[in-house]
Amino acid sequence: MRNLRRWAVLSCLVLAVTLLLSSPVLAAGKEVIRFWHMLDIKDPGPRSEALRQIIATFEKKNPNIQVQVETIPWAQIDARLIQAAAGGKSPDVAVITSTLLAQDTRANTIIPLDEYVARWSERERNDFLVPLKHTTVDGKIMGLMMQVRVSLLYYREDYLKAKGLSVPKTWVELAEAGSKLTGNGMIGFAWGLDPRDRSSVLTEALLPMFWAVGEEMLDANGRATFNSPAGVKVYQFINDLVHKYKAMDESVASYTYDDVFQAVKSGTVAMAFLGNHRVIPARTAGNLGDKLKTAPMPGLTAEKPAPANVMPLTLAIGKDSEHREAAWKFIDHMLSHESRMIDAKLAGELSPRRSDYNDPWFNSGAAREMKMWADYAGAHGRVLAYPEKYFQLSEFWAQAAQEMVLKGISAQQALDEAAKKYNALVGR
């Protein structure tokens, strides 16, 4: 009996030691925080390299904390976050787009950050390029902007110069330049219309176009208004790019965001709408150097560009985090001047902090372009208050554009059908 008891005690001790050693927190003697990000930390690209350096700097300064990066595809992060939270396994820190902030707040996947932000000085709280109200939901700060992204016109300067063309500043100039650049395997301008990947390739540039003509998309009651004469003007322009100007061909109906990026990188597209975060990766991967340039999105007149669609990536703390102080320390580090400058210099990411642009580096040749992006966002920027069913709405917009371009239905008919679908979806 004594031997049996001794064996039982020994077994319990072995089990306890095994559990302790298998714990990622205790095995290394560190507090481990799980960090959900869209990037693969092992990727050799400049954006991943910047993230690796930022994390390495944090871990060096905080040797008792380890950051465990878990890669979640950006188009899946909201669904995965909701699933994880339902099972009590949401990450300590997650990067989510501003489009998801209201949805994730109401799904109870993330926690308010007000008590942490209160530790900052008033100057720090007011230092954001886009005010904190844009990451506030139901009166609480639910996320903090890590990067500011803005839709831009990408153009191949060498292609334009070869045709004697200037950088387009208006819609008509864009269409006419695209027409002259199209041919011999080259698409003059590419604006993808595919609904995959949340229709981002269409909608990120569609919003500034709507705003440029005064269309707000939804009324105060959440009912669709984008099938107004102003909205029809935007869709008619898309149709004209294909069928009137021949600036782009019907193949763009199946282009996703990555398809447009790959075409720009390979040089088979002369101009496109993409976010600033893809500029350096395109130049690096395509060995394009200064041949690839950017400009504000064209407006109705040359004097006024289209409003800048500002699309922040935000940092949030998951509701199930057991390491909230460590999570906040990591977020604070991610938003530090040191980290934002690493992101800017290596990956071309725009800092959300106004004060960062006082750094002398932004007066250098390579950084002047980024300063232009920040000035464009600051002077003309808008952040959409995304409705809860925004992704379904964006899908309806993409389907409408495809129907118009491929099947020849009118812009009015295409948008009327999209508005009907959306209003039925939201019960309006």
Residue 161 burial by Cβ neighbours in a 10 Å radius (0-12, 13-18, 19+) = exposed
Residues 6+ apart with CB under 8 A from 199: 391, 394, 395, 397, 398
Averaged pLDDT, groups of 10, the chain, 428 residues long: 42 37 51 96 91 97 97 86 95 89 90 97 92 91 93 97 98 98 95 93 96 96 97 98 97 96 96 92 90 96 94 94 98 97 91 93 86 88 84 96 97 98 94
Task: Look at residues 45, 41, 35, 32 and name the one whose alpha carbon lies nearest to residue 77.
Answer: 35
85: helix, strand or coil: helix
* Domain ranges, ordered by start, for the chain: 25-142+313-351, 151-310+385-425
* CATH architecture group of domain 25-142+313-351: 3-Layer(aba) Sandwich (3.40)
Helical ranges in 62-191 per DSSP H = 77-86, 101-106, 114-117, 122-125, 157-162, 171-181
CA 152 to chain CA centroid, nearest Å? 13
C-alpha count within 13 angstroms, C-beta hemisphere, residue 206? 26
Distance CA 350, CA 357 (A): 10
Q: How many CA atoms lie within 13 A of 221 on its CB side?
A: 5
Q: Is 141 helix (H, G, I), strand (E, B) or coil?
A: strand
State the CB neighbour count (10 A cutoff) for residue 73.
Answer: 10
What is the model's pLDDT at position 28?
54
CATH class of the structural domain 151-310+385-425:
alpha beta
Closest CA to 334 of 319, 318, 313: 313
* Cross-sheet strand order for the sheet of 151-156: 187-190, 269-275, 151-156, 292-295
CB 264 within 8 A of CB 292: yes
One-letter-per-residue 3-state SS of 170-197: EHHHHHHHHHHHCECCEEEEECCCCCCH
Instruction: Collapse the DSSP code of 76 into the 3-class scheme (helix H, G, I; strand E, B; otherwise coil) and give the result.
Output: coil
Do residues 150 and 311 lie in contact, with contact meaning Cβ atoms separated by under 8 Å? yes
Q: Roughly what angle, to the nearest 10 degrees, separates helices 229-243 and 171-181? A: 20
How many Cβ atoms from other residues are within 10 Å of residue 275's Cβ? 21
Q: Do domains 25-142+313-351 and 151-310+385-425 have the same CATH topology?
A: yes
pLDDT at 7: 39
